[in-house]
Amino acid sequence: MPEESTTPDLVELVRRFDEALNAHDFDALMSFYAPDAVASFGSFGGHEGRAAIRRFYEDFTGAFADFENRFEEIRDLGGGVAFVVFTQRGHPPGGTGWVQIRSGVALTLADGLIERQTNNVDIDEARAAAERLAEERA
């Protein structure tokens, strides 16, 4: 069950992000990012700007016949920094099994838009990075 943020708007933002990603509504998904946002998807590389981030999501979700994204935890760390844990899973075309990845995500936001996103499969490392960011911005 997702943990509540001290900012209900942050929980709502992540819920709507989750809905857009699961629906493959990339126009809606990009509305969560600042125009010059930077996103790092770990071993999948970094992407700058909405167009590059959109291409990543289109390619990543398009690699699966079925794809779903669910958030498990969300924390508002203050200073425009959030920490989120997502689980993503997909059913490869022609396969019988599922591929799953669980990631911690450090987000920096301004005016309700994601400016920077850093995903890491090491949840503890991602949490520590988000906490450091929040301390720096306090």
Per-residue pLDDT at 4:
43
The structure tokens listed for 98 are: 């599922």
Mean pLDDT of 111-128: 95
Integer Cα distance of 25 and 42 in angstroms: 23
pLDDT, tens digit (0-9, with 9 covering 90-100), for 86-97: 999 998 888 888
**Would you say domain 8-137 falls under CATH 3.90.1720.10?**
no
Q: Count the residues in the chain.
A: 138
Closest CA to 24 of 66, 84, 52: 66
pLDDT, tens digit (0-9, with 9 covering 90-100), for 32-71: 999 999 999 988 889 999 999 999 999 999 999 889 999 9
Integer Cα distance of 113 and 107 in angstroms: 10
Integer Cα distance of 1 and 15 in angstroms: 13
Residue 74 pLDDT exceeds 70 = yes
> What DSSP assignment string belongs to the chain?
-PPPPSSHHHHHHHHHHHHHHHTT-HHHHHTTEEEEEEEE-GGG-EEESHHHHHHHHHHHHHT-SEEEEEEEEEEEEETTEEEEEEEEEEE-TT-SS-EEEEEEEEEEEETTEEEEEEEES-HHHHHHHHHHHHHHH-
Mean pLDDT of 114-133: 96
Q: Could you tell me the residue ranges of all domains in the chain?
A: 8-137
Pairing between strand 46-48 and 33-40?
A: antiparallel
Per-residue pLDDT at 2:
42
pTM listed for this prediction = 0.88
